[in-house]
Amino acid sequence: MSRNKNRLKLKGRLKRYVQMAIYLGILLAAVNILIYLIDLTAGIVLSVYVAIYFVTVLFLNRYNRPAFIRELVSFATHYGQVQKVLLKELEVPYAILDDEGHLVWMNDLFMKVTGKSSSYHKSITSIFPSITKEKLPGDKEEYSETDLVYEEESYQIKMRRLTLRDMVNNSDIVESDNYEGYLIAVYLFDTTALKLALQEVDDQSLAVGMIYLDNFDEALNGVEEVRRSLLVALIDRRVNQYISNYDGICKKLEKDKYMIILRKKAMQMVTENKFDILDVVKTVNLGNDMAVTISIGVGLDGLSYAQNYEFARNAIDLALGRGGDQAVVKTPGNIVYYGGKSQQVEKNTKVKARVKAQALQEIISSKEQVLIMGHRLPDADSFSSALGIYKIARSLDRKAYIVLNEVTSAIKPMVDLFTENDDYPKDMIINNLAAIEMADSNTVLVVVDVNKPSITECPDLLRLCKSIVVLDHHRQGTESIENATLSYVEAYASSACEMVSEILQYIDVPIRITAEEADCMYSGIMIDTNNFMSKTGVRTFEAAAYLRRSGADMTRIRKMFREDANEYKAKADAVSQAEIYRGAFAISTCSAEDLESPTVIGAQAANELLNIKGVKASFVLTDYQNQINISARSIDEVNVQLIMEQMGGGGHLSAAGTQLSNVSIEEGIGELKATLDRMIEAGDLKI
């Protein structure tokens, strides 16, 4: 590196000031030329003066320049010292890093905050682990900032890149072309007080909630007339007292509906206690045979109170759609569920079914054609309920089509009854491509036996069709079909076929279902209730009786659903190799080899495992179509829906499932066991 290249040079205004004498000498030389034209003697005299002037200026410039620069450097040094003192005593923690993130210099307050001395030159990551090298401003970024917590104090850290070349070039004294690299200036701003203030404001914001009594009328029916008013008053007192304990407001809107307002901090305390009011209300008993249960919907963190109220309404609808006896908290970006461990209460009245039937009739009558679809890998309930809606649409003189891509072994006997029957059109069953081509503004889409868009037979139809009807008996989850024209989701119903059987009886036009159609719908109820052993109520048997009167025959149904030898052996193997985990959970696997519908066999094996004494829930895993399918079943002690929701699935309290991608059978079992362990430790499962 040459000495000349490193030589300090004046620049800017100072450089022009020093060179001003030379510029004046040049001007004087120009005037000297003009003097020669006027008077030769005067010109010669002036020329001598100009020569002496230039010699003197150049001499002074050469011999006095180093001393001048030394004085300037001395001044700059004293000026820099003043700046250094100011920075050292600055009331903001401040530090300088090199381009690798190592500390070069810290002021007093930065050393006080971090507890480090001026000799500490390690990476800033050693002090603040979250400030990695990737977060430092580099060659492309000039500025960065982030929040961090250090020794229970909150800080905002701002970092700025300072190029050495820019620092020298911005100097009014010297310049050099030999400065590379950069430094990083770091500022720490204490935001602890600000965050505490913001947190206090947030804690004082209001949460809106709705409380509905699920089975108010049913519970009163079992109480003597003179005690009914006392039971109502006791329930009111329990609810009001509970909300008052959290400094909230409770207002009764109707005989079985309340509106509550709580501070967010109080609502957090309620959620920490997992909405124990769900159990408090159940203890109210004045001779009522049925325990009173409630559903709660809460709206939080909305942009306004009106939005929180809308969140609360959506949350209470979701809680009721999932079967009641639970709380749902809805925020702009999340939905959290609490409770939901009780069996759903069957509604004795059929008023709702009649109202929904009339609404369905009006919607179908207003369109030219109807598309009907269930879930992927359809079962008997999915296809048979679609068949019932098909019958309604045809009775209303509308074109109707059942969307079905894959005919699995579980439904092949039923499908054959219609594809080989000349009384039904050949295009009764169509695939996804044909359905997508048909979908237009004059089409109504009816979705049966599923309310989760991602697992419907053709999710694209939900986007293409403007009129959508949903009929389902599964509990609703976070993912649901939005903007449905008509939604009829009843978690207490045993099956979609039960719901469709009720609707068939309330359509204004006369509908006579054939024996084949009755067989299919009856079988859908049978399979979903495990031969009427689970989730059956009065209305289930009434629907079965209606189908029986319409021509359903048990002998034909039994023959239609006989298993072949491979399926029977696979189910027996799954039962025989089951592991009893933690003394209460039966876990097994079902082979998909040589089986057309291994997931159906897995579900049947899960039902069989419940016959083992001491088993509270059963889980059968099947590796099929590059996914691990888990079928979960229980009788009444364990809510398998909550377990499957933890793993991304859903279903019913006693029948649920999920699908795992990119995992092996062994990994799936490990994930299932980890979920069970976690829920047991949290108190969500009791064994």
432 burial class (0-12, 13-18, 19+ CB within 10 angstroms)?
A: middle
| Helix, strand, coil percentages for the chain (3-state, nearest 5) | 45, 20, 35
Kindly state the average pLDDT of the residues 542-554.
92
DSSP codes of every residue in 332-365: TTEEEEEE--SPPPPP---HHHHHHHHHHHHHHH
Residue 283 has pLDDT above 70, yes or no: yes
Residue 615 has pLDDT above 90, yes or no: yes
Phi then psi dihedrals of residue 200, to 5 deg: -65, -40
Looking at mean pLDDT, say which of 48-57, 128-137, 364-373 comes out highest: 364-373
What is the per-residue pLDDT for 404?
Answer: 93
Q: Which of 22-26, 422-426, 583-587, 605-609 has the lowest mean pLDDT?
A: 22-26
pTM above 0.75, yes or no: no
Q: Which two tokens stand for residue 633?
A: 């079943």
Q: Mean pLDDT in the chain?
A: 85
Q: What is the DSSP letter of 283?
A: T
Q: Which two tokens stand for residue 356?
A: 């929904």
- The domain ranges of the chain are 9-87, 90-198, 206-339, 351-560, 565-681
Kindly state the average pLDDT of the residues 26-48.
83
The CATH code of the domain at 206-339 is 3.30.70.270
Q: Which amino acid is at 314?
A: N
Strands (E), 43-199: 94-97, 103-106, 143-150, 153-163, 174-175, 182-190
Rounded CA separation 597/378 (Å): 10
Kindly state the average pLDDT of the residues 201-221.
86
Q: Are 620 and 640 in contact (CB under 8 A)?
A: no
What is the per-residue pLDDT for 105?
Answer: 83
The residue that leads in pLDDT, 266 or 535, is 266
CATH architecture of 565-681: Roll (3.10)
User: CA nearest 364: which of 511, 496, 468, 499?
Assistant: 468
The CATH code of the domain at 90-198 is 3.30.450.20
Q: 443 Cβ partners below 8 Å, 6+ apart?
A: 367, 368, 369, 370, 371, 465, 467
What is the per-residue pLDDT for 261?
Answer: 94
Residue 282 has pLDDT above 90, yes or no: no
Kindly state the average pLDDT of the residues 215-238.
84
How far CA 300 is from CA of 83, 100, 243, 334, in Å, comes to 51, 44, 16, 10
What is the per-residue pLDDT for 469?
Answer: 95
Residue 70 has pLDDT above 70, yes or no: no
What is the per-residue pLDDT for 1?
Answer: 38
Rounded CA separation 155/135 (Å): 16
Residue corresponding to tokens 């002998």? 555
The CATH code of the domain at 351-560 is 3.90.1640.10
